[in-house]
Structure 1
Amino acid sequence: MLKLIKNGEVYNPEPLGTKDVLITGDRIVRVADNIPVPQQEFCEIEVMNVKGLKVVPGLIDPHVHLIGGGGEDGFKSRTPEIRLTDLTTAGITTAVGCLGTDGTSRHMTSLLAKARGLEEEGITSYIYTGSYQFPLQTITGNCRDDIILIDKVIGIGEIALADHRSSQPTIEQFKRITALSRTGGILSNSAGIVHVHVGNGKDGLGYLLEIAKNTQIPIVQFLPTHINRNPDLLDAANEFIEQGGMVDLTTSSTNNPEDKQVPASKAARTLLDQGASADMITFSSDGMGSLPQFDDAGNFIGLDIGSVKSLLKEMQKAVLDEGIALEKALRFVTINVADILKLEDKGQIKEGCMADLTILDEQLNVDSVLARGQLMVNNGEPIVKGTFED
């Protein structure tokens, strides 16, 4: 079947104006000013007239706890698995899964199985190997081998630094992990990215800057996340960006009014005002991850849960509240993520790319979503549900 999306305001993510988009199977085959509707005798074709709506690349979320996370308040605080419609109704067509704090009762094989299940249900999913702790939890016994041999594994993460929940690896241990990840990426033609959870500790981005300065490993090997967790860390991100690194801002936040986290939309505005290029910023949701709160002495005081819906929400706020141009804000959740994760057919609307499209109304709310050419959400309602969803 062909699908023809007509009269949409298309963003690639730069604005292309009013265009038609033709899809065959799971691929975009043409983007043009006007694509005539073929005669029905030619083949079966589905036409969507989206006049007045914005057609943007499907959102990519590079940090989701697909099988849940948490546990900072005991076993009862383990967060649940994500559902397909949690992602699609948030405009997300590609998600990257990670374990997080709990590398004991959560397992890499379970994460891999969940990623494959989401793929069978209709979206694209990848994973990082490892968790907060060192030595890393892996599938094959070696993080490099995981990246080389398992197609869904595109890097290591989220490994924790500058955090009291980290296993406190030495700089030499962390160099070794990074080198293995880079080699795995080179040999498999994948990102081999090291996705780093950065906590509130004073070390901050120190390890990453030192490795980039004193080894042959480039700074783009890292994607540090939670960079907006406090104003000091956000300030420190400037040096990282100046050295050519990309930073990831977390869109989920706690309900604690005393939380020092800077909203991702506001943090992006700050970085841009300080001279950062929009190409150097990504957003991620931390969806289904636990958001624990600790006092200054390290005592647990509360827990919230991350939401994938925050990804679109903070992108909206970046445009509507912070005055960031839509084509720049879209980069944070589309092409920038695709570039650093080496997802070459994602993040754009052009011929040959995967037919992942999110269609937004004037207020940037989700109207429809197509993932790999399949209509998943229509008029804001999911029409494809996960296997065990009601």
Structure 2
Amino acid sequence: MKILIKNGTIVNHNGSEEANVLIEGDKISKITRECPAADRVIDAAGKLVMPGLIDMHVHFRDPGLEYKDDVISGSETAVAGGVTTCLPMANTRPVNDNSSITRAMIAKAKQRGLIDLLPIGAISQDCKGAKIVEMGDMLEAGCVAFSDDGLPVTDSSVMRQALEYSAHFGSFVINHSEDCSLCHGGVMNEGKVSAILGLKGMASEKEEIMIARDLLLAKKTGGHIHIAHVSSAWSLKLIEQAKREGIRVTCEATPHHFTFDERELMGYDTNFKMSPPLRTQSDVQAIREALKSGLIDAIVTDHAPHNTDDKFVEFDHAPFGILGLQTLVPLTLRLVNEGVIGLEDMVRLCSFNPAKILNLKDKGEIKEGFLADVAIIDPQISYVYDEALNKSKSRNSPLFGKQLTGAAVCTIKSGRVVYEFPNVVA
């Protein structure tokens, strides 16, 4: 089947152009000013034609907690946000710490056929931080990296081993950066706001100390460490120094950490409870500046669905986590509209850099010969993010029921239209 996307603005990491995109089969066959014949023509006038977004950090809760989300609903939620490739974390039940679980996850995603699912395997067996997994077997099964996300690897010798082994296989490690000995039972950022609210805080040093350790271990081993969901200004300073020293480090930030700060918790809304927590205004500003400068390599959602009953409890007892896949585009476009980053930067952070980190050679660009993973984005569309649009089984987002601007109005995966915003695309 041939699909022609006409009249749109093609946005890549290194520039934009007004041109048409011809898709034949699962590949982009031509970028042209002409209008070749096609089985379907999509008029993208006034819209942005971007490479499909690549989310390096999601939680699909499958296997084990499918009432929150599963691979199927997670895939549907992803394409509704313009995301065509997802990396689900390993903290499922049972943990994705062996090749059979990895294969089952991939098979389920392929059966639905909406996204490429590239699992993150656990670093340690059952995420207990004691003994590393059989990395070679898991990579062969389809894993692309390793993380015990949700729990830190506290034993430095285990983390050293993981960095050494992953480097041997040409892979990398993602650690959930927490020194848990600092503040057991913390539920938000430690500071003035936590004191006012009477809630136990989590100091930013809890994150920064673990990042410093992991950077030193990456320096020692030559392994690649990817720092997940950076939330503090000092974390960024450590990463910046490590990059200057030639340490193999990349890092990511989430929309909630560059959009909201700790003051949002003044209403005790558990939908703002996340780990790492929302921090200070100055931390948010530091993240925004690091996105602009290129210090941060990727924007990810850390999409973490929780059933309404899970969150509708006292703040101390609510789980950490926020939905993110369907709010990735509007929150990132806010950065563009506010002049923090440009549209090319958005593609660099959400598509091109993730593809480069993951060595996905035919993704991350609108380019002839590349896989036809495309997100057609309307930067002006205004809508209410509600039950009618939400594809997740959960609704734990403070943006639920709110007016948003900007959305993926059509998502194409491997040459097939897999999502269309209601009443928008012809």
Instruction: Report the equivalent of 2:122.
Output: 130
Q: Which amino acid aligns with 1:129?
A: G
Q: How many residues align?
A: 343
Instruction: Report the equivalent of 1:270.
Output: 289
Instruction: Report the equivalent of 1:261.
Output: 279
Written as runs of structure 1 = structure 2, the 5 A alignment for 1:101-180 is: 104=94, 108=98, 109-120=100-111, 121-130=113-122, 132-135=127-130, 138=133, 142-147=134-139, 149-150=140-141, 152-159=142-149, 165-170=151-156, 172-180=157-165
Instruction: Report the equivalent of 2:409.
Output: 367
Offset from partner CA, 1:327-349 (integer Å, 9 cap, x none): 11221110010101111111100
2:347 to 305, 330, 338: 330
Structure holding more strand per residue: 1
Q: Is the 8 A contact 2:7 2:45 kept in 1?
A: yes
Q: Which runs of 5+ in 2 are unaligned?
A: 179-205, 258-270, 381-405
Is 2:251 the counterpart of 1:237?
Answer: no
Written as runs of structure 1 = structure 2, the 5 A alignment for 1:1-390 is: 1-34=1-34, 36-38=35-37, 45-68=39-62, 79-82=68-71, 83=73, 84-100=75-91, 104=94, 108=98, 109-120=100-111, 121-130=113-122, 132-135=127-130, 138=133, 142-147=134-139, 149-150=140-141, 152-159=142-149, 165-170=151-156, 172-185=157-170, 192-199=171-178, 200-201=206-207, 203-215=209-221, 217-218=222-223, 221-228=224-231, 230-244=232-246, 245-252=249-256, 254-256=271-273, 259-261=277-279, 266-272=285-291, 276-277=293-294, 280-288=296-304, 300-307=316-323, 308-363=325-380, 364-380=406-422
Q: Which amino acid aligns with 1:352?
A: G
Q: Is the 8 A contact 2:177 2:208 kept in 1?
A: no
In 2: Cα distance, 1:236 partner to 1:380 partner: 45
Q: Is the 8 A contact 2:53 2:84 kept in 1?
A: yes
In 1: Cα distance, 2:130 partner to 2:348 partner: 34
In 2: Cα distance, 1:247 partner to 1:373 partner: 30
Q: What TM-score comes out, normalization by structure 2 length?
A: 0.71
Q: CA RMSD in A?
A: 3.4
Offset from partner CA, 1:334-380 (integer Å, 9 cap, x none): 00101011111111000111101101113332111101111012244
Q: Which amino acid aligns with 1:5?
A: I
Instruction: Report the equivalent of 1:386.
Output: none
Taking every aligned residue pair, what percent have the same amino acid on both sides?
21
Q: Which amino acid aligns with 1:281?
A: D
Instruction: Report the equivalent of 1:388.
Output: none
Q: What TM-score comes out, normalization by structure 1 length?
A: 0.77
Distance change (3 Å), C-alpha of 1:259 and 1:180: closer
CA offset at residue 255 of structure 1?
Answer: 1.5
SS at match of 1:23: strand
Distance change (3 Å), C-alpha of 1:311 and 1:262: farther
Structure holding more helix per residue: 2
In 1: Cα distance, 2:272 partner to 2:230 partner: 18
